[in-house]
Copies of this chain bind each other. A is one copy, B any other.
Amino acid sequence: MARPARFSGLLSPVLTPYGEDLNPDAGRLVAHSRWLLAQNCDLAPFGTTSEGNSLSAGEKIELMEKLVAAGIDPARMMPGTGCCAISDTAAITRKAVELGCGGVLMLPPFYYKGVSDDGLFAAYAEVIQRVGSDDLRLYLYHIPQMSQTPISLGLIERLTKAYPETVVGIKDSSGDWANTKAMLDAGFDDFRVFVGSENFLLANMRHGGAGCISATANVNPAAIRRLYETWQENDAEDQQKALDELRAVFTGYAAIPALKAGVAHYSGDAGWTKVRPPLVATSAEDTNEMIGKLDALGFDMPGLREAQAAE
């Protein structure tokens, strides 16, 4: 097996559907994944938007196996594998590599606060060593507002020096463009910088970034992908503005439940509204208001109903 190519483009932290018993629903997940892939959107299951940290290691491993068994191309998957315990992180990452995943998106251990770069380096190094495979492509995950555990430039430098063929990129979800730009300007060799929101997609592409991994790719993949492909064209600023406008509707509510409410509405499958605690589903009132705003923007999710019905 050849080493996986480095990712670029658009990835979606795939929403995780649940059944009535709050257990993950692999059928709906496969259907949604196919719908995303068909629009040139790659898959980052078990991200923050996926409620990835509300799933056990065993649940993540089982869902990865089911996605691949259903025929989803693992080379287009970058599952989230970072947990608080390096033993969990190593187990999920090892399985991802075994299945042939193109990469993994790895949170640092995030329970203990105020930890040092030495400690974070040791955590990543221990996982890399436990997995022990040249086929591992590791993307760091910087989301300090959630993890409270930032990935500093100094840590990236140490990791890319120690593991140049393994630590190959980062998702910057800080929402701080100055931080993203510093990562781009640092000149790490072929290091793939993804922004965590399409709000920064045009800026990222103009400065040599690799693309974006965004929550709203779950609902608006085609338009985001179009900006990724055509960022050098004359209408790029207009495209960016339209993406921002659409995204703002979802982020005007608690975003993860709101995105599920959107998928439920446009697929006609109310089961999609379920979230695992501690998240709470969007109220009917908020959903109606949100759909009204989306209608006003002429928004739709073409093909979603058919994709969900096919599973």
Contacts and interface: CB of A to CB of B under 8 A. Distances in A.
Nearest to A147: B111
Interface residues of A, number: 42
Nearest to A84: B53
B146 A277 contact: no
Interface string A266-280: 000000000011111
Given A54-B85, A84-B53, A112 B278 contact: yes
A85 B56 contact: yes
B54 A57 contact: no
Contact of A278 (B55, B59, B122): B122
Interface stretch (A32-40, A113-121, A201-209): A113-121
B88 A119 contact: no
Given A109-B54, A119-B280, A84 B84 contact: yes
Copies in the complex: 2
A56 B57 contact: yes
Interface in A74-101: 83-88, 91
A165 B286 CA distance: 36
A148 interface: yes
A108 to B, nearest CB: 7
Contacts of A115: 278-280
Interface in A195-230: none
B278 A108 contact: yes
Given A57-B57, A278-B108, A86 B146 contact: no
A113 to B, nearest CB: 6
A248 interface: no
A60 to B, nearest CB: 9
Interface of A: 22-23, 48, 53-59, 83-88, 91, 108-113, 115-116, 118-120, 122-123, 125-126, 145-149, 276-280
Given A54-B84, A54-B86, A113-B146, 5 more contacts: A53-B84, A53-B109, A56-B87, A119-B279, A149-B278
